[in-house]
Structure formats: structure tokens, C-alpha cells
Amino acid sequence: MSEASTSDAGETARQPPQGKLPVLALSALGIVFGDIGTSPLYTFKTILGVAGPSHGADAVLGPLSLVLWTLFIITSVKYVSFAMSVDNDGEGGILALMALLGVKRQQRPTIVAVGLFGAALIYGDGAITPAISVLSALEGLNMATPALQPYVVPAAVTILIALFAIQSRGTAAIGHLFGPVMMVWFVTIAVMGISGIVRHPSVFAALNPVHGMSYLLSNGAAGFRVLGAVFLCVTGAEALYADMGHFGRRPIKLAWYAIVFPSLILNYAGQAALVLEGAPTDGNIFFRLCPEILLLPLIMLATVATIIASQSIITGAFSMTRQAIQLGWLPRLAIKQTSSEGYGQIYVGVVNWLLMIVTVGLTIGFGKSDNLASAYGIAVSLTMLMTSALLFIAMREIWNWSLWAAGSVAACFLVIDSAFFLANLTKIGEGGYVPLILAICVYGVMWIWHRGSEAVATRIHEALIPVPDFMARIAAKNIPRVPGTAVFPTRTERDTPPVMVWHVKHNRALHEHLFVLRIEILSVPWVSSRNRIAIQEVAPSFWRADARFGFMERPHIPELLATSKALGCTIDLDDVTYYVGHETVIAREDGNGMPAWQERFFAVMERNAVHVSDFFSLPTDQVVEIGRQIAI
């Protein structure tokens, strides 16, 4: 069977969102731009806190210039123009990019390590984003009514717990409101920005990048620390790339250039204009743009917007988890489809509750968005740095750019990303260690699971029996052949699956019709129906099939078997028994296996992983489980 190509993959496996471009762009506002769209709540406030008391216009125009040009270079140029043009069958994000590069050469450990650690860092970002966003919105209550300050953290914790608690119900019922609500949010912050700009129009001098460079060069270490705060304005840029598969490139580009980018520019400029006019910089300068009479409605709108942004981050963590499972880097977890409206509407309970525990802990532990800002940014900046490195390889291998052209573009991105990463490194002692520790833990889980799975597969392949030899043994020993069809899911690419051998050994019988099925997860998101399955008869009434799925799909074996007759399979699939192996991992006695602590950790994950029959949607009343021990 030929390799599934990205050009035809997904023609029938995935139905793209229907509707006109503006409608899709509006929907993208609620899913894609929540994180970057709510960053004005805390970015400029954090910049002012790091920079200290301003002295003259340059102390305001310099940081503003850095913000505006960071938004343009990182988001508009790097992600919207370059990264979103390197898609894996329409899917984006660092895992999809890693898988795309892995298609060309399977043995690329460095690329795999970069992609996986970048993905692990996003989990750290996913835990911090809801905490800092919701806290920033509710801290507006301090300006409206200072007496409510003691209730900000409890209110934030309550909202976050409620947000995670409703994840299992899905968001399909209210998801269609996310886009319009975020549209109101972006219009609101744009109008607020304009109201500040009209008080001090000279703020637009910051469009000249000389102000930003001059600020960096003239302020030494202080300017470098400000650069770490400036980076907060693009912490949601990676989401544009990762969420590309939900809507496609064009709706996201339209929403960015027509709504999000102008609104962010206007709001940041408005905040800077207030500072230039002499407004107090204590508290949150964002809320000072709002008339006092409208402050409470703005706080309510900001809270809803941050909840939507948090929802998008949580959903993204679920989607990335499914990709990692399908690619073999995480154990099988229970995945619940919460809606038939979209494949991305899923719920992963383990990820949800772990994120909730970490997010609530961060909210209580840090207490203020200013403190959380110290922990924020380092994970995303390192992920962006890794994405730039992978983009260089993509330019060379996928776009076939010359070394000079690809190197020049990538060098620009790498220099900028490195500067932001180094600036954020200064915040490690103030909380930046949190996302790094989380990322290292997630990466460790991925690495041990994949290594253990490889060890299991190697042990299984050591004792395979060729099909002719196995069938000859069946005939020689007069093993009874009973009516019906036996289906054996297997990981082996050839010969007789071990589960079949063990079945005969224990039950001393074999079905008349045999169907061996191997499921392969490709490094593409979707596989078209015509490339889904290949079947061949390897012996009389002994069929072997290889089925291929993309890493964004969930295999459903009964549905897959229903299509096999159209491909020439003559086996009666109405009377089917599924035989699956249940592996108990033990340590090897010869000392050549995995280190003991890794083997024990892998064994715990293996025992708690979702059963194969559930993962492949097998009917429980037709499954026979055969236990086996495998020493790794």
C-alpha cells in the first residue's frame, strides 16, 4: 500500500468547517485569540512594574515600540506568514511540525526531542494562562472597590474550579457564543485605546523602531529585564499555529489582520498615552482607560474573556494529548467526545484534573498576577525558540530553500527568540522554574513511556513464528477448528501474532476464519478512506490487514472491519470474537533491560492506561482477553 499523502488525506476522514470566511473568522476569535487577546490586561502593567518610575517620554515610547514591533515580527511575520504556511495536512503546532519533518526521515532523535520538549512546555503554559488571566481581570475590582481586594483570589479560585468542573460536559452548547463575545471584547479594548490616544496622539511615535532599540541600548540590564515583560504580549502566538486545524489558515489570518492586531495596537498605545499624560501607574493601567461608571461592566467582560481564553488553552491541551497518544508518546487515556459538532470537542479527564490542581495551586501560591508574570513567558519563549529551529529545517526540506535563504530568515527569528528567552531566564528564581519543572515532568513521562513501548515491541518480535510454520503445527497437532471468525489486533508487522499463539496454547482450539489486524498511526493528521486499509490472504481463510490512521483520528475497529468486504475479504464478520493481549510488564533477569526505576514507572503507566478494547472501541461482549508477562 502506498504511503498516505497529505494532499488527499482527510478528503473523507475529516469534514472541514462549513461557512463563509467571515463567519469562520468570527468563530476563530473565540478559539484561537483568547490568550493573546487578553494579554493587554497584564502586559503593560508588568512592563511598568519592571521598568520602575518613568522619566520622560522615551521611558514610555521605548517599551511601547518594543511591544508593537514584537507583535508584528513574532506574530504577523513568524507565525501568521511563515509557520502557518508549514502545515501537516492543515494541522499546526510544534507536535504536528515534528511529525511532518519525521515523515521524511524516521530516525531523527534531535528533532523528536526538540518537538516533544516544546510540547511539554506548552502544558506549563496551559496551567499558568488561566491563573494569570482570571486574576488580572478580577484585580480590576481593587480599583472599583478596594474593600473587595481580599476576595479576588477566592473568586479566581472559584471561577477556575468551576471552569475545569464543567469540561466533561463539553462547550458545544455555549461555544457558538465565544466568537461574538470576543468580538465585543476586541471592539471594547480598541475603543478604550482610542480614548487614551486622543489625549496624547504623539504616542504613535513609538511606531518608529528606533525608540525601542534606543531604549534597550541605553538602559543596559534594566532594559533587558523589560524585554522579558514585553514578551508577555505574544504569549498566545503559538496558539495561532497550534489551532490552525480548527479553521484553516485564511480565517485566522483575516481575524488577525482585520480585528485582533489593530485592537491590540490601539489598546497598548492607549495605555502608553495615559502614562505620557501623567496618569498614576499604580494598580492596573488597563482599567484606567475605562470611565469609572463603566468599570464594573468592563471587569465582567474581562472576566468572561479570560474564561474563554482559559477554555481555549484547556481544549488545546486535550488536543495535544490526543496527538501525543496517537504518536506513541503518552499512554492511552480515556478520551470522551463531548460533541458531534467538531472533532476537537473532546475531554481528557486525567489532563483536566491535573491542570486544575496545578492552576489553582499557582493562583493561591502566587496570589497576584504581578507575581505570576514572573513565572509566565519562559515556557512559551523556549517553545518559540524550538519552533524556529524546526522551521529552519522545514524551509530547507519542505520548501527546498537554499541554505543562505533559509538560514537568513531563521537566524532573524532565532536571534529574537533567543533574546526573549534569555530575558525570561532572569525570572527563574522568581517563579520561572515552575513551568520548567512541569515541562521536565511531562517530557520524562513521554520519554519513559515511549522507551518502554519500544522495549515491549522488541521483546514481542523476538519470538515470532512464520504463518506457514504455525499453520503446519495446527494441522500436525490436529488442533480443532471451531466455527466463526477470530480477530487479533497486533503490533507485529509480519508472521503470526503472539496473541494467536497463546490462544491456541491455552484453549487448544482455533477459529475457522482468522483476521489479523495491525493499526499504524502515521505522522499525518488524517488519512483518506481509500488509503485506510490494505488486506491480503496469507493462508487459506487467514487474512492479514494493515490499517492506517492519522494522529488526529481515533481508530474504530468494528467500523473498519465493515469496510473490508469491499476490498475482497470473504470472511463472515457477523460472528466475530476479538482476542486481545493484556501485558504485565516485569523486569528482565539478565540485567540487560531498562533501569529498574524506569521499568517500574512504565509498568504503573501500562497498568493504568486505557484498555486496548476501549481504545479501539471493541464491543465488550465479544472480547476475550489473554494475559501475558513481558520482561523488559
- φ, ψ of residue 583 to 5 degrees: the values are -90, 130
Residues for the chain: how many in total?
A: 632
Q: What is the pLDDT of residues 535-593, one digit of tens each?
A: 888 888 888 989 988 877 878 888 888 777 766 677 777 788 999 887 788 888 777 77
Q: Distance between CA 272 and CA 606 in Å, rounded?
A: 54
Band of pLDDT at residue 172, cut at 50, 70 and 90: low
**H or E segment to which residue 335 belongs:** strand 335-337
Dist CA 524 CA 191 (whole Å): 43
How does residue 12 score in pLDDT terms, banded at 50, 70 and 90? very low
Q: Of 233-242, 469-478, 479-488, where does mean pLDDT reach its minimum?
A: 233-242
Higher local confidence (pLDDT), 144 or 231: 231
Q: Give pLDDT, residue 203.
A: 92
Per CATH, the homologous superfamily of domain 21-431 is Amino acid/polyamine transporter I (1.20.1740.10)
Confidence grade of residue 464 (pLDDT, cut at 50, 70, 90): confident
pLDDT greater than 50 at residue 2: no
User: Which among 492, 482, 450, 448 has a CA at the least distance from the CA of 581?
Assistant: 492
pLDDT band at 457 (very low <50, low <70, confident <90, very high): confident
C-alpha to C-alpha distance for 161 and 360, rounded to whole angstroms? 7
Looking at the DSSP bridge assignments, the partners of residue 335 are 348
Radius of gyration of the chain (CA): 27
pLDDT single digits (tens) 281-299: 777 889 999 998 999 999 9
With 0.75 as the threshold, say if the pTM is over it. Answer: yes
Read off the pLDDT of residues 300-330 as tens digits, 9 standing for 90 and up: 999 999 998 888 888 888 888 888 887 788 8
For residue 104, give every residue at least 6 positions away whose Cβ sits within 8 Å of its Cβ, in sequence order, or none.
397
Mean pLDDT of 521-528: 78
Distance, in Å, from the CA atom of 555 to the CA atom of 489, rounded to the nearest integer, reads: 12
Cα–Cα distances (Å) from 481 to 161, 485, 536, in that order, read 57, 11, 21
Q: Cα–Cα distances in Å, from 259 out to 254, 264, 565? A: 8, 9, 51
Residue type, 338: T
Q: What is the pLDDT of residue 340?
A: 58
Q: Are 527 and 13 in contact (CB under 8 A)?
A: yes
Under a CB-based contact definition with an 8 Å cutoff, are residues 135 and 152 in contact?
Answer: yes
- Of residues 362 and 17, the one with the higher pLDDT is 362
Domain ranges of the chain: 21-431, 457-631
pLDDT of residue 4: 36
User: Residue 174: which pLDDT band, with cuts at 50, 70 and 90?
Assistant: low
Percent of the chain with pLDDT over 90: 29
User: What pLDDT is attached to residue 171?
Assistant: 67
Q: What is the pLDDT of residues 314-372, one digit of tens each?
A: 888 888 888 888 778 888 888 887 765 555 677 888 999 999 999 999 999 988 888 88
Rounded to 5°, the CA angle 129-334-14 comes to: 80
Highest-confidence segment of 80-84, 259-263, 395-399, 480-484: 259-263
Which segment of 2-6, 304-308, 412-416 scores lowest on mean pLDDT? Answer: 2-6
Q: Are 228 and 50 in contact (CB under 8 A)?
A: yes
Query: Can you give the pLDDT at residue 344?
Result: 61
The rounded distance, in Å, linking the Cα atoms of 514 and 371 is: 62
Sorted by sequence, the CB contacts under 8 Å of residue 498 that are 6+ apart come out as 460, 463, 464, 490, 492, 581, 628
Q: What is the mean pLDDT of the chain?
A: 84
Burial of 404 (C-beta count, 10 Å sphere; 0-12/13-18/19+)? exposed
Arithmetic mean of pLDDT, 12-41? 75
Higher pLDDT pick, 438 / 572: 438
The predicted model gives 253-259 an average pLDDT of: 93
Average pLDDT over residues 604-612: 84
Question: 54 falls in which pLDDT band (50, 70, 90)?
Answer: low
The predicted-structure confidence for 93-151, as pLDDT tens digits, reads as follows 888 888 788 644 456 777 888 888 888 888 887 888 899 889 989 988 887 788 888 88
| The CATH number of domain 457-631 is 3.30.1580 | no
Ordered strands of the 542-549 beta sheet: 533-539, 542-549, 510-521, 481-490, 576-586, 623-631
Compute CA distances 232 → 66, 67, 137, 228, 424, whole Å. 11, 9, 16, 7, 10
Report whether 606 contacts 331 (CB < 8 A).
yes
Looking at per-residue pLDDT, the higher value among 228 and 52 belongs to: 228
The conformational region for residue 198 under phi > 0 = left, psi -120 to 50 = alpha, else beta, is alpha
Tell me the CA distances in angstroms from 321 to 314, 382, 554, 605, one per residue in order.
Answer: 11, 20, 13, 15
Taking residues 238-251, what's their average pLDDT? 79
CB atoms near residue 500 (< 10 Å): 23
Spatial CB neighbours of 487, under 8 Å, sequence gap ≥ 6: 515, 516, 517, 557, 561, 576, 577, 578, 579
